[in-house]
Chain A
Amino acid sequence: MRTLPIAFVRPVMRKEFRQIRRDSRSLIFMIFLPAFLLIMFGFALNFDVKHIPLAVVDQDGSRTSRDLIEKFRTTEYFDIRSVLDRTGEVDGLMARDKIRAALIIPERFSEDLLAERSPSVQFLIDGANAMSGTTAAGYAASILLSYSQRVTLEAMARRRPGGPMLPLKTEVRVWYNPELRSAKFLVPGLMAFILMVTLTTSTAFSIVREKERGTMEQIYVSPLRPTALIIGKMIPYILISLASAHIVLALGWVLFGVAVKGSYFLLLLTIVLFLISGLGQGILISSITRTQQVAFLICVLTTILPTFILSGFVFPVRNMPRVIQAITYLIPAKYFLVALRAIILKGVGFAAFWDQILFLAGFAIVILLLSVASIRRSTEGGRRRGRAR
């Protein structure tokens, strides 16, 4: 009598569970590594560009110039590291990475200002880090602009008291994350990044280990179908990573105040689809490699940097060139991240991100089919080799 392929899922699952249990350190790592990394990164990281180390060269040395320096000192954007006498010293400090920006106030600055000749100051920035460089330039421009406006209005007020006020007030409102706290923004991104890497690596060895140890040959000659093999191997890992994903979510809530605003059911659906995608990617890698060394290397290379950079976690996808934007469709963390931000931070409904869920489901299905196909090919190869002998 022919056994239904699905009946093989259970024994494979049981065997896989037993094997996982035997290596308790790996199990602990799989469950708690994501949590550990989230705690570490969540506390350490910060997107805000603040406290940019600044050097000031005050060639004027007047009360006015000190007044302007004070403007830079009192913002949290700059930390004045040194006040120099000569411009020449700036070079060395910047090359040694001691400062990121320098403000140079020329001689006769106060004289020009009093005579109402618009003076200029030099602002040097270390462009090597383009992001903090751009931001520093923006901050400096803002500070100087508001300084000039104050000086002008004061001069006007001296001549004609009760003159014009600052005419325009800008009211800034930030939605979803009112204090613009990076943690709120970072935590979903970190979840996607950390889970993707740990998921893929947890199944990276599932098939290739059997190949390296020679037990795969036994599977080839058994009536086990590739589909049943993959499902059976995957279920234990889905359960383990579901646990670790929930630990991560709970930590995000308890430690970083990132509460789930939207529906938990939708969140669970998204997480499960993402887990299948990540674990499936690991299985696919496992089935196309021959040694564990290479499987791990491919895993790390296809998850760490691509997820970090192409998922929209750090770099906005819409700024990328079209070709690269097309490639980001291969990064499941991207869909997960958009859906996660929508559910967790915005609390919006299914209508706002159904397309992401659809893509994620599509990715999961395709990657599983590819793994099945790859194993089927090597199974047939193995059977043929077996017959030849």
Chain B
Amino acid sequence: MKVILSILWKEFLQLRRDPRLFPVIFISPILQLILLGYAANLDVKNIPSVICDLDRSTASRGFLGDFVNSGYFSVEARVDRMEEIDRYLDHGDASMAFVIPRGFGDSLAGGKEASVMLIADGSESQSASIGVNYATLIAANYTQKIIFESFKRAGGLGLKPVLVKPELRVWYNPELKSRNFMVPGVLGLILMIMTTTLASLGIVREKESGTMEQLIVTPIRPYQLIIGKLLPFVLIGLVDTTFVISVARGWFGIPVRGSIALLFALCLAFMLNTLGIGLFVSTISRTQQQAMLTSLFFIMPQIVLSGFVFPIENMPKFFQYLTTVIPIRYFFVIIRGIMLKGAGWPELWNQAAALMGLGTVILTLSVARFHKKLD
């Protein structure tokens, strides 16, 4: 025990050598969280649009009015010729355009089919598809209005138009704020980045500077060495978790509906994984440069394939299977479950089991490799 404590102390002294470390470890997560909490906004509103009304009738103005008043589109420009639309989309000044052809109003009045054209800038396919969805919905609602009116004109024919109304209920995040989804994710990413990089480089540095050899000839046992080396990072991770959760709650008002104790316990389980990966990277790297690039090789896919932004169920099957060995994937479900859904052990035990199982395997393998290197 005393041995572990002294290694721990030595590690802390070493961490203090770069005066920038502590600000980076403790302040940057908060900064990142605040920045990203405001920036992570997928709510597509005020899509800049160009209107090209070739009909200029009461009907076309009424139709376009529905778009403008919906709040999803903001009119950047009104043009008279279709060719003028190009410039706005090419320069990125607008991402959608609505074209009402000549004769729109007459066709509608004459009970014939009228058509409108929506043009979307597909180079930002995400906002384009959301914009197209909104626009088609607004157009469909307009259609509904016309059908109702023609019913009225026909004297009803003794029937009433029906409308199946969706009664929408949104659970867990009633205002559908993207922030509530992203901020818990940021905690997972910060924990992973901090612990994996610090651990891998910290251990390789000893090798690089030759002090590892000195540690080996001392009577320190390998397990004491590993615990002493990794424990500071666990503590850093826990402090960061506390900071991040306080800011998420205090600043952004994101609820923690479930048990905080469970959250911290599972953070520890998650750190088994991230530190295990860090340790593993250190066993296969000779220099810190190698360790850095190798960590990147492990970190980047985890960030992108974890369901942080891109839903796993949309990935091809092969990648869906691949994500089962990505620890942070389980952590995301857990942390979002605990914070937003108030989920507890009954709902999360299988995720927690996967996280702990994976962590145990990764850590055991890395420790075994580390031992072999020492001998």
Residues of A participating in the B interface, judged by any CB pair closer than 8 Å: 23, 25-26, 29-30, 33, 36-37, 40-41, 43-53, 68, 92, 94-97, 113, 116-135, 137-142, 144-149, 151-153, 155-156, 159-160, 163-178, 180-182, 184-185, 194, 197-198, 201, 204-205, 209, 288-294, 296-298, 300-301, 304-306, 308-310, 314-316, 318-321, 323-324, 327-328, 338, 341-342, 345-346, 348, 351-353
Chain B interface main SS type? helix
In the bound complex, CA of A181 to CA of B128 (Å): 11
Closest to A28 in B: B293
Chain B residues with Cβ below 8 Å from A51 are 313-314
Query: How far apart are the CA atoms of A47 and B137 in the complex, in Å?
Result: 20
Q: Which residues of the partner chain A approach B46 to less than 8 Å between Cβ atoms?
A: 318
B159–A159 touching, CB < 8 Å? yes
In the assembled complex, B146 has its CB within 8 A of some CB on chain A = yes
Contact: B164 with A128, CB < 8 Å? Answer: no
B220 within 8 A of A: no
| A contact residues around B310 at 8 Å (CB) | 44-47
**In this complex, what residue of B is CB-closest to A124?**
B169
Q: Mark B135-155, 1 if CB is under 8 A from A, else 0.
A: 111011111101100110010
Contact for A33 among B144, B178, B296, B319, CB less than 8 A: B296
The reply on B38 being an interface residue by CB < 8 A is yes
Contact stretch, chosen from B18-26, B263-271, B357-365: B18-26
**Chain A: minimal CB distance from B142 (Å):** 6
Contact status B305-A47, CB under 8 Å: no
Q: List chain A residues, Cβ under 8 A from B102.
A: none
CB pair B171–A127 under 8 Å, yes or no, is: yes
Residues B137 and A138 in contact, CB atoms below 8 Å apart: yes
How near does chain A come to B161, taking the closest CB pair, in angstroms?
5
15 more CB-based (< 8 A) A-B contacts, given A151-B164, A165-B113, A204-B292: A29-B296, A40-B305, A52-B313, A125-B169, A142-B133, A185-B126, A197-B300, A201-B296, A297-B193, A304-B189, A304-B303, A309-B40, A310-B35, A341-B124, A352-B92
Interface centre among A165, A296, A310 (most CB of B within 10 A): A296
Interface residues of B (CB under 8 A from A): 17-21, 24-25, 28, 32, 35-36, 38-46, 48, 89-92, 108, 111, 113-130, 132-137, 139-144, 146-147, 150-151, 154, 157-182, 186, 189, 193-194, 197-198, 201-202, 205, 287-290, 292-297, 299-301, 303-305, 309-311, 313-316, 319, 322, 333, 336-337, 340-341, 343, 347
Give bound CA distance, A87 to B288, whole Å: 56
Q: A25-B290, A131-B42, A142-B136 are in contact. Are A44 and B115 (CB under 8 A)?
A: no
B118 partner, pick from A45, A122, A171, beta carbons under 8 A: A171
Cβ contact within 8 Å between A156 and B157: yes
For B287, the chain A residues whose CB sits under 8 A away are: 23, 26
Residues from chain A with Cβ under 8 Å of B160 in the complex: 116
Which residues of the partner chain B approach A33 to less than 8 Å between Cβ atoms?
293, 296-297
Q: Contact at A175–B167, with CB atoms within 8 Å?
A: no
Cβ of A97 and Cβ of B333 under 8 Å apart? yes
Q: Is the CB of B118 within 8 A of A176?
A: no
Of the candidates B137, B341, B347, which one forms a contact with A142 in the assembled complex, judged by CB atoms under 8 Å apart?
A: B137
In the complex, what residues of A have CB within 8 A of residue B169's CB?
122-125
* CB-defined contacts of B140 to chain A, threshold 8 Å: 142, 145-146, 149
When A130-B177, A309-B36 are in contact, do A118 and B123 touch as well, CB less than 8 Å? no
Interchain CB contact under 8 A, B300 and A181 = no
A171–B135 alpha-carbon span in the complex (Å) = 11
- Are the CB atoms of B167 and A122 closer together than 8 Å? yes
Find out whether the CB atom of B170 lies under 8 angstroms from the CB atom of A175. no
Cα distance A232–B20 in the bound complex, in angstroms? 27
A168 near B299 with CB under 8 A, answer no
Q: Residues of B contacting A304 with CB < 8 Å?
A: 189, 193, 299-300, 303
B161 close to A152 (CB less than 8 A): yes
Query: Nearest B residue to A304 by beta-carbon distance?
Result: B303
Q: Which of B162, B163, B164, B304 contacts A44 (CB 8 A)?
A: B304
Find the A residue at minimum CB distance from B149: A167
* Structural contact, A131 and B122, CB atoms closer than 8 A: no
B111 contacts A167, C-beta separation under 8 Å = yes
Tell me if B176 and A293 are in contact (CB < 8 A): no
Chain B min CB distance to A161 (Å)? 12
B111 to chain A, nearest CB (A): 6
Q: Which 7 A-B pairs have the closest CB atoms?
A: A177-B122, A127-B173, A185-B125, A127-B170, A29-B293, A174-B122, A44-B319
Do A316 and B127 form a contact, CB below 8 Å, given A119-B164, A170-B139? yes
> Do A315 and B39 have beta carbons less than 8 Å apart?
yes
- Is the beta-carbon distance between B122 and A149 smaller than 8 angstroms? no
Among the listed B89, B178, B194, B205, which residue makes an inter-chain contact with A131, where contact means beta carbons less than 8 Å apart?
A: B178
Partner of B41, one of A148, A173, A319, A338: A319
Q: How far is the CA of A368 from the CA of B99 in the complex (A)?
A: 48
Complex-state Cα separation, A285 to B249, whole angstroms: 32
What are 17 residue pairs bridging A and B, where the CB atoms are less than 8 Å apart in the complex? A37-B301, A44-B310, A116-B160, A127-B176, A130-B176, A131-B181, A134-B42, A151-B164, A152-B147, A156-B159, A171-B115, A174-B128, A209-B289, A289-B18, A294-B24, A309-B35, A345-B122
Would you call B18 and A294 a contact (CB within 8 A)? yes
CB of B20 within 8 A of CB of A167, answer no
Q: How many angstroms between the C-alpha atoms of A314 and B304 in the bound complex?
A: 11
Return chain B residues, CB-CB under 8 Å to A153.
Answer: 147
The reply to whether B126 and A47 form a contact with Cβ atoms under 8 Å apart is yes
Whole-angstrom distance between the alpha carbons of A120 and B168 in the complex? 10
CB < 8 Å neighbour of A170 from B135, B311, B333: B135
Q: How far is the CA of A167 from the CA of B108 in the complex (A)?
A: 7
In the complex, which of the residues A182, A298, A341 contacts B24, with contact meaning CB atoms closer than 8 Å?
Answer: A298
Known: A51-B313, A138-B134. A338 touches B92 (CB 8 A): yes
Contact: B301 with A155, CB < 8 Å? no
**Which residue from chain B places its CB closest to the CB of A171 in the assembled complex?**
B117
Contact of A148 among B130, B144, B288 (CB under 8 A): B144
Residue of A nearest to B101 (CB): A171
Q: Please, how many angstroms separate the alpha-carbon atoms of A346 and B91 in the complex?
A: 9
C-alpha gap A205/B43 in the complex (Å): 39
The answer to whether A53 and B313 touch across the interface, beta carbons within 8 angstroms, is yes
Measured in the bound complex, the distance between the Cα atoms of B173 and A126 in whole Å is 8
Please name all residues of chain A whose beta carbon is closer than 8 Å to the beta carbon of B122 when the two chains form the complex.
174-178, 180, 184-185, 345
Q: Given A43-B316, A134-B43, A174-B128, A324 and B38 touching (CB < 8 A)?
A: yes
